[in-house]
Amino acid sequence: MGLNIDNRTIFCFDNLEVLRGINTECIDLIYLDPPFNKKKTFTAPIGSSAEGAEFSDIFREKDLKEEWLTDIKEDHYPIHELLSAVKNIEGKQSYNFCYLAYMAIRLMECHRVLKDNGSLYLHCDPTMSHYLKLVLDCIFGEKNFRNEIVWCYRGAGYPKKDFGKRHDIIFRYSITNKYIFNIDEVREEYAEATKERFKHYIGNVREGKDFGQQSLNPKGRHPDDWLQIQPIAPSAKERTGYPTQKPLALLERIIKASSNEGDMVLDPFCGCATTCVASEKLNRQWIGIDVSVKAYELVKIRTEKEVKSLFAQNIEFSTKPPERTDQGVNYRPQKYVYIISHPKHKGFYKVGVASNVKSRLGSYQTGDPERNYKLEYSFFTPDFREIETYIHQKYENNFEWVKGTLEDIKNDIEGFNGAQSR
Ligand SMILES: C[S@@+](CC[C@H](N)C(=O)[O-])C[C@H]1O[C@@H](n2cnc3c(N)ncnc32)[C@H](O)[C@@H]1O
For the cut 90, the answer to whether the pLDDT of residue 419 exceeds it is: no
Give the 3-state DSSP-derived string for the chain, with helices as H, strands as E and coil as C.
Answer: CCCCCCCCEEECCCHHHHHHCCCCCCEEEEEECCCCCCCEEEECCCCCCCCCCEEEECCCHHHCCHHHHHHHHHHCHHHHHHHHHHHHHHCCCCHHHHHHHHHHHHHHHHHHHEEEEEEEEEEECCCCHHHHHHHHHHHHCHHHEEEEEEEECCCCCCCCCCCCCCEEEEEEEECCCCCCCCHHHCCECCCHHHHHHCCCCCCCCCCCCCCCCCCCCCCCECCCCEEECCCCCCCCCCCCCCCCCCCHHHHHHHHHHHCCCCCEEEECCCCCCHHHHHHHHCCCEEEEECCCCHHHHHHHHHHHHCCCCCCHHHCEEECCCCCCCCCCCCCCCCEEEEEEECCCCCCEEEEEEECCHHHHHHHHHHCCCCCCCEEEEEEEECCHHHHHHHHHHHCCEECCEEECCHHHHHHHHHHCCCCCCC
| Ligand 1 site, residue 242, Cβ cutoff 6 A | yes
Indicate whether 232 pLDDT > 70.
Answer: yes
- Closest atom, ligand 1, to C-alpha of 269: 12
**Is the CB–ligand 1 distance for residue 245 below 6 Å?**
yes
Q: Inform me whether the pLDDT recorded for 296 exceeds 60.
A: yes
Mutate to test the pocket of ligand 1, among 245, 291, 294, 303 (most ligand atoms within 8 A of CB): 291
pLDDT in tens, 207-231: 445 544 567 899 999 999 999 999 9
**Is ligand 1 within 6 A of the CB of residue 17?**
no
Cα of 270 from ligand 1 centre, angstroms:
5
- Judge if the beta carbon of residue 241 lies within 6 A of ligand 1: no
CA distance 164 to 141: 33
Q: Is residue 422 pLDDT above 60, yes or no?
A: no
Query: 284 pLDDT band (50/70/90 cuts)?
Result: very high
Does any ligand 1 atom lie closer than 6 A to the CB of residue 33? yes
Q: Please report the sign of the dihedral spanned by the C-alpha atoms of residue 98, residue 82, residue 137, residue 170.
A: positive
**How far, in Å, CA of 16 to CA of 20, rounded?**
6
Across 40-54, 270-284, 408-422, the highest mean pLDDT is recorded for 270-284
Given the CA of residue 246, which atom of ligand 1 is nearest to it? 8
Say yes or no: CB of residue 7 within 6 Å of ligand 1: no
Nearest CA to ligand 1 atom 3: 271
Assess whether pLDDT exceeds 80 at residue 206: no
Task: Verify whether ligand 1 is closer than 6 Å to residue 303 (CB atom).
Answer: no
Q: What is the pLDDT of residue 243?
A: 85
Q: How far is the centre of ligand 1, averaged over its atoms, from the C-alpha of 248 (Å)?
A: 16
- pLDDT for the residue 255: 98
For domain 9-186+223-318, give the CATH number: 3.40.50.150
Atom of ligand 1 nearest to the CA of 34: 10
Indicate whether residue 259 lines ligand 1 (CB < 6 A). no
Residue having the nearest C-alpha atom to atom 13 of ligand 1: 269
pLDDT in tens, 22-78: 999 999 999 999 999 988 888 888 888 888 888 888 899 888 999 999 999 999 999
The candidate with the shortest Cα–Cα distance to 21, out of 258, 266, 254, is 266
Task: State which ligand 1 atom lies nearest to the alpha carbon of 289.
Answer: 21
Question: Cα–Cα distance between 79 and 136 in angstroms, integer?
Answer: 9
Work out which ligand 1 atom sits closest to the CA atom of 292: 25
Ligand 1 lined by 35 (C-beta under 6 Å): yes
Euclidean distance between CA atoms 158 and 163, whole angstroms: 8
Mean local confidence (pLDDT), 150-179? 95
Give residue 418's pLDDT: 56
pLDDT (0 to 100) of residue 332: 95
| CB-ligand 1 contact for 55 (6 Å cutoff) | yes
pLDDT in the model for residue 417: 75
User: pLDDT at residue 162 above 50?
Assistant: yes
Span 360-378, mean pLDDT?
95
pLDDT interval class at 201 (50, 70, 90): low
pLDDT (tens digit per residue) in 370-391: 999 999 999 999 999 999 999 9
Mean pLDDT of 248-259: 98
CA–CA distance, 390 with 402 (Å, rounded to integer): 11
Q: Where are the domains of the chain?
A: 9-186+223-318, 335-415
Tell me the pLDDT band of 203, cut-offs 50, 70 and 90. Answer: low
- Minimum mean pLDDT range among 143-152, 202-211, 307-316: 202-211
Give the ligand 1 atom nearest the CA of 272.
9
pLDDT average, residue stretch 256-274: 97
What pLDDT does 20 receive?
98
Which residues, at least 6 apart from 276, have a Cβ–Cβ distance to it below 8 Å? 8, 10, 265, 267, 270, 286, 288, 299, 303
Q: What is the pLDDT of residue 90?
A: 86
pLDDT averaged over every residue in the chain: 92
Taking CA atoms only, the protein residue closest to ligand 1 atom 26 is 271
Q: To test ligand 1's pocket by mutation, which of 269, 272, 275 has the most ligand atoms within 8 angstroms of CB? A: 269
**CA 251 to ligand 1: nearest atom:** 8
Position 421 confidence tier, pLDDT thresholds 50, 70, 90: very low
397: Cα separation from own chain's centroid: 36
| Pocket lining: 254 vs ligand 1, CB cutoff 6 Å | no
Q: Is the CB of 240 under 6 A from ligand 1?
A: no
Residue 156 pLDDT > 90: no
CA–centroid distance, 295 to ligand 1, in Å, is 9
Question: What does the pLDDT read at residue 371?
Answer: 94
What is the position in ligand 1's atom list of the atom closest to the CA of 274? 8
Residue percentage of the chain with pLDDT more than 90: 78
Nearest-atom number in ligand 1 for the CA of 106 is 19
Q: What is the mean pLDDT of residues 281-305?
A: 95
